[in-house]
Amino acid sequence: MDPLMLARIQYAATTIFHFFFVPVSIGMVFMIAVMETMYVVKGKEEYKKMAKFWGKLFLINFAVGVVTGILQEFQFGMNWSDYSRFVGDVFGAPLAIEALAAFFLESTFIGIWIFGWDRLSKKVHLLSIWLVCFGTTLSALWILAANSFMQHPVGYQINNGRAEMTDFFALLANGQLWVEFPHTVLGALATGSFLICGISAYKMLKKIDYSFFKSSFKIALVVALCSSFLTAIFGHQQAQYLVETQPMKMAASEGLWGESGDPAPWTVAAFIDPTNKENKYEIKIPYLLSFLSYSKFSGEVKGMNELQAEYTQKYGEGNYIPPVRTTFWSFRIMVAAGSLMILFSAYGLYLWMRKKMDRPNKGYLRLMLFGISLPYIANTSGWIMTEMGRQPWTVFGLMTTADSVSPSVTAGQVLFSIIAFCTVYAALAVVMVFLWLKVIKQGPYKTDASDNEHSTDPFGKEGYHAVS
Amino acid sequence: MLSLNELWFILVAVLFIGFFFLEGFDFGVGMATGILAKNDTERRVLINSIGPFWDGNEVWLLTAGGAIFAAFPNWYATMFSGYYTPLVVLLLALIARGVAFEFRGKVQDNRWKKTWDICIFIGSLLPPFLLGVVFSGFMKGLPIDGQMEMKAGLFDMVNGYTLVGGVTVTVLCFVHGLLFTVLRTEGEIQARARRLAKQMLYPLAALLALTGVATYFATDIFEAHGTVLSVLALLGLAAFLLAGYFLSHKRDGWAFGMTGAVIALAIIGVFAGLFPNVMISSVDSAFNLTIHNAASGHYSLKVMTIVALSLLPFVLGYQIWSYFIFHKRVHEKSHLEY
């Protein structure tokens, strides 16, 4: 088998898996910080219970996110050593800063938060969860600064056959970063809040601890609506930026081979035939692509054939068209999932305004339970579009994926690691879901079993639980 | 005046010292859960004694990796791709260990706990061993070609010398962890940890001596840095003897500090011995990776210097603060989160 293809499969599989957990962590820790703030401000025990209950779920998720993240940092060197040599001068910096500024902060203060309930004053304890929240966001900023360089390289010069940093602040001021970072972090908030809404809806359907979950639901609903709406706004910004900086990705995500015409219509669905470079059957909405690209109802968008000719002239012979069907459909799936998220949460707000939130109808609760899947779908398909749409490049215009792979790593080695990681990751997923269901079933009012039930020490049985 | 390349070589060493000093003891405690603890309660006391810290400790490794990437991309690329398979095993061990801490106490079932106990034990045993093997390999030399590609077979990576290095690092972390246990627990388990630590000092002494002698014969780092390495070895010997002295006089904090000093001196020894190389080629010394041919450009190093030197004090500050918050000893009636 081809070591390049294997390395790509491993990178995609492990990164997608990792990103099931990251947005949940970012989103949930924010929600928990909000809940604990309400506890400190209002002094109501219920909010503390909330922070702890959702905190328990968060910690299980966080653990998986952290351990799968270690691989992410090592993988560049392991599987993409030529890439690392070529961009390390620029790309290594944000990664190192992410560890130094963000990982230390979140890992230290999460320890303080978990173990500090009875050792710290309320305010210091609250501060620790906000610092974790700050840390996770900071981490997102730096890793996305690195990713933005791959989408739209800035602040570098090619010296000695590699990219060398010439302007650190250009990396941070990268326009790509400032559309990608808000879009991703807001998407993460939407993920965390939809999870809390969905789980709360489930418990409300079961009529267990109704008032606890109703309050959780309401807090999460506010965040869900705001964040999913804002995610879409920044998604729109990102699309406009894409037209300027990576028009090929834009054209591929539209399945646009030839000229779009002016004003450009948006293709809802199409049968794409990449071999003959044409689409059979298309459903189009007039004006919409112009609006998506330029925020006005006129303007042309370049097609893939024209861009291919341009790039061939600029970069030499080669195929510069990414996998069109993947890019096209992942974009649509993301948009569809995101739109449903806005609709679902807006409908919740409507029920709330109509004062129907105290006894919301079962249909709506079921909808929100199903809604848990939406952010996962949107996050995953969004990243597939972003990364697949950039192909054949790892760093747009500078280095191709084929040139990035480690020359000294054999197909056998990668095959072994794919099998090893996928097996372990599958086991992690099963265990994590199992533990989540268990914690959800237990609910917020069950005292911590872990503290006194299973002590084999006869003197440990009266072991008090300092927390509750 | 230090060049930036030299400064970053030192900073990477500092990050590894931080890592082995801190994560070293929590690896040791992890090993102790399988060797020292007699029942579930004792295992939980041990795990909770490192509960608030282990995650933050592990970040020292991630930061060291990130720093190598940023400051010495060629070192990062050669090492991580060259040591591909051992690193896969290292990652699997760290993954299993990390989730095991979080998962273990969530279900009250013996088989469940047993499974995660195995993960904690193996996940704490393998990483120091593998890292010991990797670091000894740096000094002994690896088949690195003119394109900086390391094409190593199993026996280039795992051989008599690197095995000695791996075992020594593992046992050193174990003793360091036992002393941490002495510091952080009380009662019977503390007494047993103290006893075992004392007994372990003899094999550790033998291993450290063996590593020193093996390094003298198996590598050529003494040729260039003989004086410095001899001084470090003497300091290491002094720290080791002091560790034994403090341990038998129940000055536990000092004893722990001294095993920490042995760890720090060992890492300094590795880096001082390598300097100005970062990886030695067994093919041709012209192919050695050095702090110059592996490094990032001047501008990048300058930026990273400013960033690192302004952030590190804060990191140290809040990490020390977290140790201060949780300075009380852990016993079976404490709040055991895990």
- State residue A149's pLDDT score: 96
A449 pLDDT above the threshold of 90 = no
A463 pLDDT above the threshold of 60 = no
CB < 8 Å to B55, chain A: 66, 107-108, 110-111
Section A121-134 average pLDDT: 96
B312 and A100 in contact by Cβ < 8 A? yes
A78 and B333 in contact by Cβ < 8 A? no
A459 pLDDT band, cuts 50/70/90, is: very low
Section A296-308 average pLDDT: 90
Report the first-to-last Cα separation within chain A, whole angstroms.
Answer: 57
Bridge partners, residue A159, by sequence: A162
For residues A66 and B9, what is the distance between their CA atoms, to the nearest angstrom?
27
- State residue B337's pLDDT score: 80
Determine contact, residues B116/B145, Cβ cutoff 8 Å.
Answer: no
CB < 8 Å to B335, chain A: 115, 117-118, 451, 465-467
Provide the 10 A C-beta neighbour count for residue A159: 11
Section A396-421 average pLDDT: 94
Complex ipTM, two decimals?
A: 0.92
Domain chopping of chain B, boundaries? 4-325
- State residue B328's pLDDT score: 86
A63 and B101 in contact by Cβ < 8 A? yes
3-state secondary structure A249-301: HHHHHHCCCCCCCCCCCEEEEEEEECCCCEEEEEEEECCHHHHHHHCCCCCCC
Query: Nearest CB to B69: which of A63, A77, A168?
Result: A77
Question: In Å, how far is B91's CA from the nearest CA of chain A?
Answer: 6
Quick check: A430 contacting B, CB < 8 Å? no
Query: Nearest CB to B103: which of A115, A421, A435?
Result: A435
- State residue B335's pLDDT score: 76
In this structure, the strands spanning A278-285 and A399-400 are: unpaired
Q: What is the mean pLDDT of chain B?
A: 93
B336 and A450 in contact by Cβ < 8 A? yes
B62 and A421 in contact by Cβ < 8 A? no
Determine contact, residues A88/B77, Cβ cutoff 8 Å.
Answer: yes
Q: Which of A18-32, A269-283, A406-420, B227-241 has the lowest mean pLDDT?
A: A269-283
Chain A window 246-285: which residues touch B at a Cβ cutoff of 8 Å? none
Section A167-183 average pLDDT: 95
Question: In Å, how far is B105's CA from the nearest CA of chain A?
Answer: 6
Chain A window 359-418: which residues touch B at a Cβ cutoff of 8 Å? 406-409, 413, 416-417
For residues A203 and B325, what is the distance between their CA atoms, to the nearest angstrom?
37
For residues A444 and A452, what is the distance between their CA atoms, to the nearest angstrom?
17
Q: Smallest Cα–Cα separation from A94: which of A15, A26, A131, A147?
A: A147
Quick check: A449 contacting B, CB < 8 Å? yes
Determine contact, residues B262/B174, Cβ cutoff 8 Å.
Answer: no
A115 and B335 in contact by Cβ < 8 A? yes
Rg (CA), chain A: 24
Nearest CA in chain A to B316: A104
Best mean pLDDT range from A279-283, A371-375, A451-455: A371-375
Domain chopping of chain A, boundaries? 3-245+323-460, 247-322
Q: What is the mean pLDDT of chain A?
A: 91
Q: What is the pLDDT along chain B (338 residues), one digit of tens a residue?
A: 789 999 999 999 999 999 999 999 999 999 999 999 999 999 999 999 998 999 999 999 999 999 999 999 999 999 999 999 999 999 999 999 999 999 998 999 999 999 999 999 999 999 999 999 999 999 999 999 989 999 888 999 999 999 999 999 999 999 999 999 999 999 899 999 999 999 999 999 999 999 999 999 988 888 888 888 899 999 999 999 999 999 999 999 999 999 999 999 999 999 999 989 999 999 999 999 999 999 999 999 999 999 999 999 999 999 999 999 998 888 887 778 88
For residues A251 and A244, what is the distance between their CA atoms, to the nearest angstrom?
11
- State residue A261's pLDDT score: 83
CB < 8 Å to B130, chain A: none
A458 pLDDT above the threshold of 50 = no
Provide the 10 A C-beta neighbour count for residue A5: 12
Chain A window 164-193: which residues touch B at a Cβ cutoff of 8 Å? 164-166, 168
Percentage of chain B modeled with pLDDT above 70: 100
Quick check: A4 contacting B, CB < 8 Å? no
Peptide bond into B128 cis (omega under 30): no
Percentage of chain A modeled with pLDDT above 90: 78
Residues A350-406 have pLDDT tens digits of: 888 887 767 768 889 999 999 999 999 999 999 999 999 999 999 999 999 999 999
- State residue A460's pLDDT score: 38
B303 and A438 in contact by Cβ < 8 A? no
Query: Nearest CB to B69: which of A67, A84, A107?
Result: A84
Alpha helices in chain B (DSSP H): 4-35, 40-50, 54-71, 73-82, 84-104, 110-140, 154-157, 160-184, 187-218, 221-248, 252-274, 298-325
- State residue A284's pLDDT score: 87
A454 and B40 in contact by Cβ < 8 A? yes
- State residue A448's pLDDT score: 54
For residues A262 and A284, what is the distance between their CA atoms, to the nearest angstrom?
14
Measured between alpha carbons, how far is residue A210 from residues A57, A126, A223, A368, B255 in Å?
Answer: 19, 26, 20, 16, 55
B88 and A420 in contact by Cβ < 8 A? yes
CB < 8 Å to A89, chain B: 73, 296-297, 300
Q: Which of A277-281, A412-416, A443-447 has the lowest mean pLDDT?
A: A443-447
B98 and A63 in contact by Cβ < 8 A? yes
A70 and B338 in contact by Cβ < 8 A? no
Measured between alpha carbons, how far is residue A121 from residues A30, A53, A109, B330 in Å?
Answer: 20, 20, 14, 20
For residues A274 and A297, what is the distance between their CA atoms, to the nearest angstrom?
29
A461 pLDDT band, cuts 50/70/90, is: very low
Nearest CA in chain B to A108: B56
Chain A window 64-123: which residues touch B at a Cβ cutoff of 8 Å? 64, 66-68, 70-71, 73-74, 76-79, 81-82, 84-85, 87-93, 95-101, 103-105, 107-112, 114-120
Helices A324-353 & A362-370 angle (0-180, nearest 10): 150
Provide the 10 A C-beta neighbour count for residue A417: 26
A99 and B148 in contact by Cβ < 8 A? no
Q: Smallest Cα–Cα separation from A87: which of A395, A402, A409, A408?
A: A395
A456 and B53 in contact by Cβ < 8 A? no
A455 and B40 in contact by Cβ < 8 A? yes
CB < 8 Å to A162, chain B: 73
Determine contact, residues B81/A409, Cβ cutoff 8 Å.
Answer: yes
Question: In Å, how far is B82's CA from the nearest CA of chain A?
Answer: 7
- State residue A453's pLDDT score: 42
Question: In Å, how far is B217's CA from the nearest CA of chain A?
Answer: 29
A74 pLDDT band, cuts 50/70/90, is: very high
A118 pLDDT above the threshold of 70 = yes
Bridge partners, residue B281, by sequence: B142
Section A344-351 average pLDDT: 92
- State residue A447's pLDDT score: 62
Question: In Å, how far is B182's CA from the nearest CA of chain A?
Answer: 20
Section A290-314 average pLDDT: 91
A435 and B92 in contact by Cβ < 8 A? no
A431 and B103 in contact by Cβ < 8 A? yes
